[in-house]
A and B are shown apart, each in its own frame.
Chain A
C-alpha cells in the first residue's frame, strides 16, 4: 500500500539553528499537507501544497512540493523554542474527493535554548 516516510525521525538543535524535515511518498500525490503536533497535543494544520514545484512561506517556515509530486520538505529558519513538536506531512492521492490522508511517520524537533 501507499507509504509516506519522513526523515529524520528526531532532530535536536540549538535555538537559532535551522531545521529541515523531508517527506517521501511511494506514490504520486495530488496534494500534500503539513501538520504540527505539540507534545501531548493534537495535530494542527500548517499548510497545503498542490502544484508541482510549489514553494510557500509562512514567516520562518518554508514548504516545498517536489516536481514529481512525490516528495516535500519543511525548512525552519532560526528555530525558536516555540517550534518544539512533531511535524507530520500527510499526502492525498485520491484526487481530493475525500481528503483521505496518509500521514507520514513524523519528525520530532527538540530545541535547546
Chain B
C-alpha cells in the first residue's frame, strides 16, 4: 500500500492564481481531512469528509473548496491565492475501529504564494 499520497510536493503561486492540491489514499478509509500547518504552529483543519459525496468545513475553510467523488480521492482547491495561504498542507485519512482511529498523514505540499 502506498498509504496517503499528495501532489505536488512543492508549489509557488502568484497572488490571484488558482490550483488544486491532490490527495489519494489506498487504504479504503472513509474519513479524509485537509490540514494546514504554518511555520512553528500546530495543524488547523480546513475541510473534512466522512465518505464519498459528503464534505464539511473545519476551523479555517475560507478560501478553499473540496470535493469527494470517490473514496480514494480528496482534492483541495485554492481559488484566488493569497499570501496568507502560504503554508504546508497535509492530507490525512482514517477509519473507525474499536481501539481507536488514528489518522494517517500524507507527506505534505509546501505552498508559497507571492
Q: Taking beta carbons and an 8 Å cutoff, which residues of A are in contact with B?
A: 1, 4, 31, 33, 35, 41-45, 48, 50, 88, 90, 96, 98-106, 108
How many angstroms from the CA of A31 to the CA of B100 in the assembled complex?
9
Stretch from B17-25, B69-77, B104-112 contacting the other chain:
B104-112
Q: Which residues of A contact B96 (CB under 8 A)?
A: 96, 99
Are A98 and B104 neighbours in the complex by a CB distance under 8 Å? no
Q: Which residues of B contact A4 (CB under 8 A)?
A: 42
Are B105 and A42 neighbours in the complex by a CB distance under 8 Å? yes
How many angstroms from the CA of A96 to the CA of B100 in the assembled complex?
9
Are A105 and B42 neighbours in the complex by a CB distance under 8 Å? yes
Are B108 and A42 neighbours in the complex by a CB distance under 8 Å? yes
Q: Which residues of B contact A102 (CB under 8 A)?
A: 45, 59
How many angstroms from the CA of A44 to the CA of B108 in the assembled complex?
12
| Partner among A35, A98, A103 whose Cβ is within 8 Å of the Cβ of B50 | A98
Contact with A along B12-55 (1 / 0, CB 8 A): 00000000000000000001010100001111110010100000
